[in-house]
Amino acid sequence: MVETQTPKPASSINDQEKKRKREDGDKTAQNGKKQKGWNKDKRFNKNNKDKNGGSKGSKSTNKTPQQPDREEAVEESISKMNEQILADHFMQKAKAHNKDLTAVELSDMSVPVQAFQDTTSFEQVRKLAQLPDFLKAYSPEKGARLGSASEDKGSPHTLVIASAGLRAADLVRALRSFQNKDAAVAKLFAKHIKIEEAKQFLERSRVSIGVGTPQRIIDLLESGTLKTEKLERIVIDGSHIDQKKRGIFDMKEVYAPLLKLLTREEFKERYGSKDKDLKILVY
């Protein structure tokens, strides 16, 4: 006897159809999430490759590009100034930094024309590497005695004035050719050097050239450890321009002590003197 199947009610068929559609919808949603996540991962990996210069198999590498050496900036107009123009330039800068001073007060800050030496004949660009040649060009016997020092301790024949400690350190390195066991190129600046250490060095050392910043040199002069009896020239690092595009004449906090240094009585009475002439050279 053949069994006959009882047909399912319509409601049951509808329920199964709804269940099947829900399952198909869930699968589609899950696949969509996977695809979305894969695309996101793909974008992330692509961005990483772009940032890192490509994958390992590509020709690009993760090496950081080398930065070009910073070019030494120079204010070329300084090299074209003779004694009179330099004296005027110093006074103009003094007025610009001290607008409230009277004419009498400004005159006390003036550096006389006879204090300056004309260096316009020096044709080389005034960078660090050319500083030794500059000194030789304006020293007796073509600089033959630049590497010698007085028997008196702490008594240089040349002072080089910089705008900051880091620049002074660069100048010291540029002048190493003038240093030997009997004549030191002294570091007269505050960068990593305490003033007591500088005093002790001057008290025990024969110094040919002193390199420093204006205020530190003033402090050492007033302490008596830095002597000026043998001083022949003061060289101002006037052409150098720092990363902020400033020179030694543009910074009031540096220019004020520089003027104070250059107008000391012991210097002013020697400017233009026949016996112990002292000259200012602006590099």
Confidence of residue 14 (pLDDT cuts 50, 70, 90): low
Confidence of residue 17 (pLDDT cuts 50, 70, 90): low
The pLDDT assigned to 69 comes to 42
For residue 255, what is the enclosing H or E element? helix 252-262
The tens digit of pLDDT for each residue in 211-253 reads 999 999 999 999 999 999 999 999 999 999 999 999 999 999 9
Confidence of residue 66 (pLDDT cuts 50, 70, 90): very low
* Rounded Cα gap, residues 217 and 258, in angstroms: 10
* Rounded Cα gap, residues 269 and 231, in angstroms: 13
Query: Of 47, 232, 70, 244, whose CA–CA distance to 158 is shortest?
Result: 232
Burial (CB count within 10 angstroms: exposed 0-12, middle 13-18, buried 19+), residue 162: buried
Q: Which residue has the higher pLDDT, 234 or 55?
A: 234
Query: Of 234, 236, 178, whose CA–CA distance to 207 is shortest?
Result: 178
Phi-psi region of 224 (alpha: psi -120 to 50; beta: other; left: phi over 0): left
The tens digit of pLDDT for each residue in 258-280 reads 999 999 999 999 999 988 899 99
- In the chain, where the domains are located: 81-282
Average model confidence (pLDDT) across the chain: 83
The pLDDT assigned to 100 comes to 87
The pLDDT assigned to 68 comes to 40
Question: Would you identify the CATH topology of the domain 81-282?
Answer: Rossmann fold (3.40.50)
Residue 202 CB neighbours (<10 A): 24
The pLDDT assigned to 108 comes to 87
Burial (CB count within 10 angstroms: exposed 0-12, middle 13-18, buried 19+), residue 196: exposed
* Strand blocks (E) in the chain: 73-74, 158-161, 184-188, 207-212, 233-236, 240-241, 279-282
Query: Of 282, 254, 252, 258, whose CA–CA distance to 96 is shortest?
Result: 252
